[in-house]
Chain A
């Protein structure tokens, strides 16, 4: 009797399993299609407005067609550069401290601080730099923007460099130290060179992320419709330009918003793609 019940139930159980598997497939397909839809829309809507002017000219005043986003591109590059100059040494230095001097209590605190910094919502980073620098020191400026981006980049660099340094076998350090090499030379000339590609990866990842950030720049660099490379004044940036174009009432600016988005996504993709490429090549070489 029980056997018969079990046989009947078996069919039901198999059906239920198949249905749930199908649901999982549908949900996955939906998720994948969303990605393709977004990327597709960005490409289709943006590609038409890309031309030489777009990359080299400054924006035209309200309502006029033509012009380009050169100031925004320049501003992004400048701020990323300055942010990098601040964030890369601090990030790598912190990572070195955590791994090579990791025993102390302070190192634990530093590690924890990096975790917390990494989780800060980017608008709050903007509020911080706004309250600290913009209100009293620098006003809305490219410098403040670069600082905000640096705050975002530091934990990303520190974390990824720390991960990489942890992978370096202790034996390498020990043999160098045993030869009497001072520790700083061991780190700079023995350990770091073996993981340089990985470090570059971390830096590029942080740049990719910073390139796309809008909220912190909103409260710091503010944006600029004119060409400005002076760090003491408001500076344009690609994400800011996109935002301004998109929320405006002009069709031409909407088209430019799409095109700028396409360029921004392409830049982020290239930077991130280069990351994956380097990671794979580095893994290959170390094997």
Chain B
């Protein structure tokens, strides 16, 4: 069975994806980004234009640097001791790595969902959702918080399941629900971009599909970047795909980037083709 043909079947829209009209913001332009863990270079010279209003998947074998890349986009990479990045990442034209730029401000605008769901265990579902909102608005009228909670949980396709247990612990939910709670939490503060680092790798297939459908509804409001080790997921869920590979010295590079259907049906690079067909990685 030719793997490429089966992926071609699952690649979604046959027509070219429509990016959001220019000027609505939410674009990420990565320019000459290199990332280091201490002395070891993990990423070299990445250039990538993430288009607004689309879902962009980053795929590649383990160790190719895709998590490192996405963590550079909201400056989480440097949180690790000794880690840093050079180059620039432009959010709507503003370089988030500019000398005076504040990571705190940036992370407010670029949200992140992690590989393992991480709801705050000492908080209720309700409090989890507004955790980010409370940072800047610690004392809003309850009605405003209620409204945000309902809106975010609905957008995360979780409202019906938890509306009666808003005040139970955040960690009392199932894995898939917890991850959707984390998505709700991330979008409650209305970021411009949403980064998801292998969000389904700890979930079962049903939960995974729920989240993929959810992402499709979210891309109207947020630019979405999705790191995934699951090629089928990338083929199903994304509009654009970036393929990365690490060389012998474990330095990650961007090999190919384009519309998902092109990447999976007619990749330009041979290494891409090898990975897609399962011979690599």
Contact = CB atoms under 8 A, between A and B. Distances in A.
Interface of A: 5-6, 9-10, 13-14
Interface of B is mostly: helix
A10 B137 contact: no
Interface of B: 102, 104-105, 108, 135-137
Nearest to B104: A10
A6 B137 CA distance: 8
Given A13-B104, A13-B135, 12 more contacts: A5-B136, A5-B137, A6-B108, A6-B136, A9-B136, A9-B137, A10-B102, A10-B104, A10-B105, A10-B136, A13-B136, A14-B104
A13 to B, nearest CB: 7
Contacts of A9: 136-137
A123 B242 CA distance: 70
Contacts of A13: 104, 135-136
A1 to B, nearest CB: 12
5 contacts: A5-B136, A6-B136, A10-B104, A13-B135, A14-B104
Contacts of B135: 13
A261 to B, nearest CB: 41
Among A5, A6, A14, chain B packs the most CB atoms within 10 A around the CB of A6
Contacts, number: 14
A276 to B, nearest CB: 25
B91 to A, nearest CB: 15
B145 to A, nearest CB: 14
A16 to B, nearest CB: 11
Nearest to A14: B104
A7 to B, nearest CB: 9
Contacts of A10: 102, 104-105, 136
Contacts of B104: 10, 13-14
A241 B105 CA distance: 63
Contacts of B102: 10
A9 B82 CA distance: 30
A6 B140 CA distance: 13
Contacts of B105: 10
User: Which of B104, B108, B136, B137 has the largest count of A CB atoms less than 10 A from its CB?
Assistant: B136
Nearest to B105: A10
Nearest to A17: B104
A9 B132 CA distance: 13
Nearest to B108: A6
Contacts of A6: 108, 136
A20 to B, nearest CB: 15
A14 B104 CA distance: 10
A21 to B, nearest CB: 14
A137 to B, nearest CB: 55
B221 to A, nearest CB: 16
A13 B105 CA distance: 11
A9 B105 CA distance: 11
A10 B137 CA distance: 11
Nearest to A12: B136
Contacts of B137: 5, 9
Contacts of B136: 5-6, 9-10, 13
Contacts of B108: 6
B135 to A, nearest CB: 7
A13 B137 CA distance: 11
Closest 5 CB pairs of A and B: A9-B136, A6-B136, A10-B105, A5-B136, A13-B135
